[in-house]
Amino acid sequence: MRSTAAFLAACLMTLGCAAAPAPAGALSAQEAWIRATPGSAVAAAYLTLHNGSTQPVVVVGVRSPAAGAAMIHESSLVNGKSSMRPHERLRIGAGETVRLAPGGLHIMLQSLNRTLAAEDEVPLVLLLEGGATLEVIARVRLLGQE
């Protein structure tokens, strides 16, 4: 009886490990910048994310102390019309690189706490599935400086 219970416990632990999220530090960010629009309470942030682990990483949210709300959005052009919709979960496969860039995926910062000026540094916090976070500093660029 004792060996059966030990066997079942080992099986459950193995299943739990197989479903574990990628280790903290698996996701890295480069080239983070924000396109500021003078006089606007919104801004778009862009960056490149790389998953250096052997497990997928899922970004489930974003926060920033510079904004009342932050979320990942995706812009698209369909039948000549531009649209934007929330992208609630961003899955980055093992070894994969995902670029958030104008005209596609981006982080939308809404209800900015202040007007952003060129060269300002804005903290972003990516919330990862499993509870880990990735802190990123994005530098502000004005329109035309991209």
What mean pLDDT do residues 69-94 have? 89
**In the chain, domain spans:** 22-142
Residue 19 reports pLDDT greater than 70:
no
Residue 12 reports pLDDT greater than 50:
no
Percent over 70 (pLDDT), the chain: 82
pLDDT interval class at 21 (50, 70, 90): low
Residue 1 reports pLDDT greater than 90:
no
The mean pLDDT value of the chain amounts to 85
Fold entry, domain 22-142: Immunoglobulin-like (2.60.40)
What mean pLDDT do residues 130-146 have? 88
Q: What contacts 24+ positions apart, CB below 8 Å, involve 23-30?
A: 23/53, 23/55, 24/132, 26/51, 26/52, 26/53, 26/55, 26/57, 27/51, 27/52, 27/53, 27/57, 27/59, 27/92, 27/126, 27/128, 27/134, 28/52, 28/134, 29/126, 29/134, 29/136
In this structure, the strands spanning 133-142 and 67-78 are: unpaired
What mean pLDDT do residues 49-73 have? 97
pLDDT interval class at 24 (50, 70, 90): low
